[in-house]
Structure formats: C-alpha cells, structure tokens
Amino acid sequence: MDAQLQADRAALADTVRRFAENEIAPHVQAWDDAGEFPRALYARAAELGLLGLGYPEALGGTPASYALKLPAWIALARHGKSGGVLASLFSHNIGLPPVVLHASDAVRAEVVPAVLRGEKISALAITEPGGGSDVAALCTTARRDGEHYVVNGEKTFITSGMRADWITVAVRTGEERGAGGISMLLVPGDAPGLTRTRLAKMGWWCSDTAQLHFDNVRVPARYLLGNEGGGFRMVMGNFNGERIGLAAGALGFAEACLDEALAWSQGRKTFGAALIEHQVVRHKLVDMQMRIASTEAWLEAVSAQGDAHEAAGRFNAPEWVAQVCMLKNHATQTMQFCADQAVQILGGMGFMRGAVSERIYREVKVMMIGGGAEEIMKELAARQLGW
C-alpha cells in the first residue's frame, strides 16, 4: 500500500471517528427508544462526503476503492456503536448501485445527486414474505401498460422502508418464471398504491424496517433499470459490495465490544483486584483480539482482490465471490463471539440497556442473516469454487 493511500485512509478514518463519537454514539440510546434517528443526520453525513464515498464525481460523489472505503466503514461501526444507524443512514449503498450502473443518464441525474446530498433516502426491496434468499422465486409483478409498469405484490424486511423516497425493487416482468423473468424497477416513494407497515425487530431499533405493499402502483417505464429480464444478475452483483460492507461493519462492532470489555475489566474490582488481573478474563480478551486480527487481515486481502478485479473488469470473478461469502461468515462469527464474551465479562451490566455490548449482542443475528444467511454463503462459496 503506497504512502498516499495510507495517509488518505488515516485521515478519513479520523474524520469518521470524530463524526461517530460526536454525532452518533451519544444519541444512540435515545434514537433506539424513539425507533428512528433524525433525517438531519443524512445531511450532516453528506457534508463530510460520507454518503458520496465510492460514487461518480459527476453525480456528486467521490470515487473510492475498497481499500479507501474500509477504514470508514469500520470506524463508523466501532465508534458509532449502532448497527441501526448504519443500516438506514447508508441504505443507499444497496439501493443506488443498480441505478448508477443501469439507469438512463436522465434518471441518474434525477435520483442520485439528491440522495448523496442527504436530501432523499434510497432503499432496496428484494425479499418477499413468501421467500428470503431464493430471489429467483420472487412473485411481485410489474406488468407493462403503455408508458408505465403496474406493480403488484409485497416486499418485507426493507431497511429504510418507511422513509425511503426512492425504492429499487426486484419485480417479475412478463410471464417467464425463474431468474430470467426478473427485472429491476425504481419506484418513487410517493407513488399512489404504495403503502408501508413498520416492523418491530430484535435489534437495529432506530433503523426503520418495513413491509411494502404494492397495489396497482403505476411506475413510469423510464424507471426500468437496464433491460427487462436483466434483474437477477443485477441483484447478484449488488450483493458483493453489500457483503463486504457487512464484514467491515461486523469487524468494527467486534472492536467496539472489545473496547468496552477491556475498559470494564480494567476498572471493575472483584475480590480485591481488577477483573483484568484474573487469568480467565485476560484469556477472553486475547481470544477476542485473535479473531479480530484474523478478520481484519482477511478483509484487507479480499478488498485488495476486489479492487484488482474491478480494475481488470472482472467484477464477479468466481474465486473472489467465494472469498467474499466466506469472509462475510467469518466476520459475523467474530462479531458474535466478541459480543458474547463482552457481555460475559461485563456480567450483570452487560445485560443492561445502554451497554454497547448489549446492543451489539442483539444486532448479531441480523448481520449473520442479512445479505445472505450463513448457509447460503457456504453453498454459494462452494459452487463458485467448483465443488
């Protein structure tokens, strides 16, 4: 890694750390209690260039490699200490890429800059009540009617689903079943016939999550992304960036758990000595650090591979996709282990609302399931490896 990239990474990480410590972490408990965070946070993140990181300059973004984005993602998790904030504040990172890559120039100009300025919110809607990871079996339909598509169906577990101004929706066009019949359609959040129902969750309380209902929703045909029938490939390609982001977030949350557990063990006295003076506690902390270090090294390696593949135009190289899947599992398992050990070290305090590790403990499972459950990741990795 060259000196300039190292300097840029350090500067970005420091900016993100200060933003997270000052404008996210102090308010997370109140936002969790309220079930949402202020929309003004989008504009503040945009002012710092965080929403536009990795997007074309012509659309108001700042092009960035995985190597540059990684420190930002990790720092936001470690110092912001809330998966709920990150999930909604950056939901555009799964909602916008299909628009950037496949929309017309006019639609890109209409949609993307306002989202990157923090004025509008973007979401992605793939999952349906009747099926999760089996994207090829989705049932929501979009029937062409003149210059519009008429959308009917439901989507569920949609992050930013209650507040999104633009929703990138996987739909079935035509009569073809399976992957070949899937298309991607950009749906305005104020479209008549679109209704939303808030969902209650185990974690991510301040991230609004919704079930969407489409009842004869008319969407201008210009909002079709790419060609009819090309949606499945878009969905699969979109997952790679999401999974690396989840892995980076999981690493940051694991570090947050270690930070809290270490500070607690140094200050808490039991039987006349600080907790950290007990061998069993020190060994728990070392076990956490071991897993964090391995995750960090793997994440750096996979990100470097991703940057190299993108530079060569190999965006979905099978061997790299396999690495992404396995990394996502490893990182979320690290997060799970560290959250569990941190709560154990904190004891009763780890069970109390307001403890960082208590929040992260509740958020572990959505990280292990979202973006592709562990079992799906293992099977996809095996197939990509030709096994």
Catalytic residues: 242
Q: Which residue, 136, 117, 135, is CA-closest to 126? A: 135
Task: Give, as one character, the DSSP assignment of residue 278.
Answer: S
- 3-state DSSP call for residue 113? helix
Q: What are the residues facing 217 on neighbouring strands?
A: 151
The Cα–Cα gap between 374 and 369 comes to 7
Q: How far apart are CA 28 and CA 287, in angstroms?
A: 28
How far apart (Å, rounded) are the C-alpha atoms in residues 118 and 52?
9
382: Cα within 13 Å, side-chain hemisphere: 7
Smallest CA-to-CA distance from 16 within 68, 61, 56 is with: 68
Q: What is the DSSP string of 252-287?
A: HHHHHHHHHHHHHHHH-EETTEEGGGSHHHHHHHHH
Distances (CA, A) of 125 to 154, 174, 182, 184, 226: 9, 19, 13, 10, 17
Query: Whole-angstrom Cα distance, residue 360 to residue 83?
Result: 8
3-state class (DSSP) for residue 137: helix
* 8 Å CB contact between 163 and 124: no
CA distance 42 to 88: 9
DSSP letters along 289-344, please?
HHHHHHHHHHHHHHHHHHHHHHHTT-TT-HHHHHHHHHHHHHHHHHHHHHHHHHHH
The two structure tokens encoding residue 328: 């996502």
- Token duo for residue 313: 């135009």
